[in-house]
Amino acid sequence: MIRRLTMAQAIVAFLKNQFSLRDGIRSRIFEGCFGIFGHGNVAGMGQALEQDSGLRYYLARNEQAMVHTATAFAKMANRMRVMACTTSVGPGASNMITGAATATINRLPVLLLPGDIFARRNVAPVLQQLESSSTQDISVNDCFRPACRYWDRIERPEQILTSLPEAVRVLMSPAETGAVVLALPQDVQAEAFDYPAEFFAERVWTIPRARCDRDLLTQAAEWIRAARRPLIIAGGGVIYSDATEALAQFAEQTGIPVGETQAGKGSLRFDHPQCLGAIGVTGTPGANIVAREADLVIGIGTRYSDFTSASNTAFQNPALRFVNINVTEFDAYKRAALPLVGDARTVLAELAGAVENYHVESGYAAATETHRERWEAEVDRIYAQRHGPPLSQGEVIGVVNEVSRDRDVVVCAAGSLPGDLHKLWRTRDPKGYHMEYGNSCMGYEIAGGLGVKMAAPDRDVYVMVGDGSYLMMAQEIVTALQEGYKINIILIDNHGFSSIGGLSRSLGNRGMGTDYKYRSNGKLDGKTIPVDFAANAASLGAHTVRARTHDEFVKALTECRDNPLTSVVVVETAIDSRVPGYESWWDVPVAEVSEVESVQRARKEYEKTRQKERNFF
């Protein structure tokens, strides 16, 4: 049998019948399609989505934002469910590139279906076409190539018969997943073809739990039994593979302490006996001291970003060895590690059996407990601050943590907030901490919060966003209201780019270009621009409250939590009351030559600390 459909209609018919299966749980892969229509997709993908309600359509307000929403949805769904995004060619398509990069860097699946220039070419140059004098086989969609994991241009309708299955294979691959881009020429979208009916039958993609090499597992067990100061670094792969219980059991069995990356935060509850909390540049003192002295690091589902490794200064023991458990071979081999390439949950279970009688020495276990106790006291101190007004950022985080419930989700992405949240947030659920820190993309927060709520409508979502990120991309508040997805937004007003301003000053500079000030006498050092964020959010339809004091903030946050509408609490914070860094460093090069004395001092300190950076062979 055959079905005569346009290429766009065939795409919709195929996507709605794809399912994932892991551990006996079957899920529909594609939950819907975000879109903004233009001349390059309205008569193709637009017509197909309107005709076939099997793939629900969501109207977004910004192309980059809708990819962020799709990315957050996939992250919250542990990469088992996916959203598609469609745009016209030109600015609509190129606006999605930042979102594609964010998804790929974070190893999260999104399907992007941008329109493209005419395949038949005879009407070129069309509106929004990027012309090249050296080739006619190029468009803005070629810019996606380095930012995605699979890319194809569909120039004949029958090409989707081979391209769509490959696209889904990559999306569902724990090792290869990221953004997938299928560029759809606007004429081909509307072209009909006789497709075989079996192409649209239900298909189940089984997500395997791969086992690692047996000999390497045995060697890893020997290394662990020989270690006196081992440390586990838990990355996002622990959560994506549902390995949190396996990790908790392994840590309890062996007594090995655990430090968490941004993506891995929540791998253990904050009060687990082996949990040292955040590690690296934004880490706790205990985790970083243990990392510095460790003789064995077991990395689970981590890619060792510079924030995790403190720019390769975190690990200073000359006898240090690495064992990496990762489903991706590329990451498993990092730091010249013994690579256990496989599913985190499966490998952890087998490793636990291989080191059955091992436990760290009592003195090392006692040191872990001491680090934990001291850190909890430090968090209590910061939460209990009564600064100002304006409030301190740590105090604001404490209020949100205490008002939220165990299964609620905090969402953030950029600025100084991620570092403070990584240190201070007391995680009580594996999916309760949602941080986009692979790309640290400003503007992700509100769009991402919407995606989290769509994936987990039974949880309350708290979006924490600075004023800089808010001004870049706040409009998905309207999408949340339109679709009836309630999110709580905490908008922190510190009158500029507080994070980069602080970094600038720490490097001997004066925070140039980071404050929201009027130009005066040729410089941006006049009075602060009085942006009314509450009025702005209210104009978009959100329930909005201002808060100045600690008590006002608690009351406002509780009020917004209980309001059925998407709500915004605007709270001013002080830039001079920061959460400290603890036992760590980040490589940000300082000007080698300067007439400014503070820069000269910062350069000397930079050169001194940089000597601690290590290579691993």
Spans of the chain below 70 pLDDT: none
Cα distance between residue 206 and residue 22, in whole Å: 6
DSSP 532-561: -HHHHHHHTT-EEEEE-SHHHHHHHHHHHH
Residue 27, pLDDT score: 97
Spell out the alpha helix ranges (H) of 281-392.
285-293, 306-309, 329-332, 344-354, 362-383
Other CB atoms within 10 A of residue 89 CB: 28
258 and 251 in contact (C-beta within 8 Å)? Answer: yes
- Edge-to-edge strands of the sheet including 296-300? 275-278, 258-260, 230-234, 296-300, 321-326, 338-341
Q: Are 141 and 125 in contact (CB under 8 A)?
A: no
pLDDT for the residue numbered 428: 98
Mode of pairing for the β-strands spanning 296-300 and 321-326 = parallel
What gap in Å lies between CA 502 and CA 505, rounded to an integer?
Answer: 5
Which residue do the tokens 């509850």 mark?
269
**DSSP structure class, residue 517:** B
- Separation between Cα atoms, residue 58 and residue 476, nearest integer Å: 11
CA distances from 454 to 18, 49, 179, 486, 525 (A): 19, 19, 19, 9, 42
What pLDDT sits at residue 376?
A: 98
The answer for 334, left when phi > 0, alpha when psi is -120 to 50, beta otherwise, is beta
Task: Give residue-wise pLDDT tens across range 546-579.
Answer: 999 999 999 999 999 999 999 999 999 998 888 9
Q: Can you point out the beta strands (E) in 14-116?
A: 18-22, 25-28, 30-35, 57-59, 82-87, 110-116
pLDDT of residue 499: 85
Which residue ranges form the domains of the chain, and what is each CATH number? 2-206 (3.40.50.970), 214-374 (3.40.50.1220), 385-572 (3.40.50.970)
Instruction: State pTM to two decimals.
Output: 0.97
CB-CB contact of 443 with 472 (8 Å): yes
Whether the Cβ atoms of residue 528 and residue 515 lie closer than 8 Å to each other = yes
What is the SS3 assignment for 469?
Answer: helix
- Other C-beta atoms lying within 10 Å of the C-beta of residue 123: 10
- Residue 160 forms beta bridges with which residues? none
pLDDT at 598: 96
Say if residues 378 and 370 touch (Cβ distance below 8 Å): no
Rounded to the nearest angstrom, the gap between the alpha carbon of residue 477 and the centroid of all alpha carbons in its chain is 20
Q: Is the peptide bond before 285 cis (omega within 30 degrees of 0)?
A: no
Task: Return d(Cα 494, Cα 515) in angstroms, integer.
Answer: 9
Contact status, residue 175 vs residue 326, Cβ threshold 8 Å: no
CA distance 543 to 530: 21
Phi/psi for 233 (5° steps) reads: -110, 115
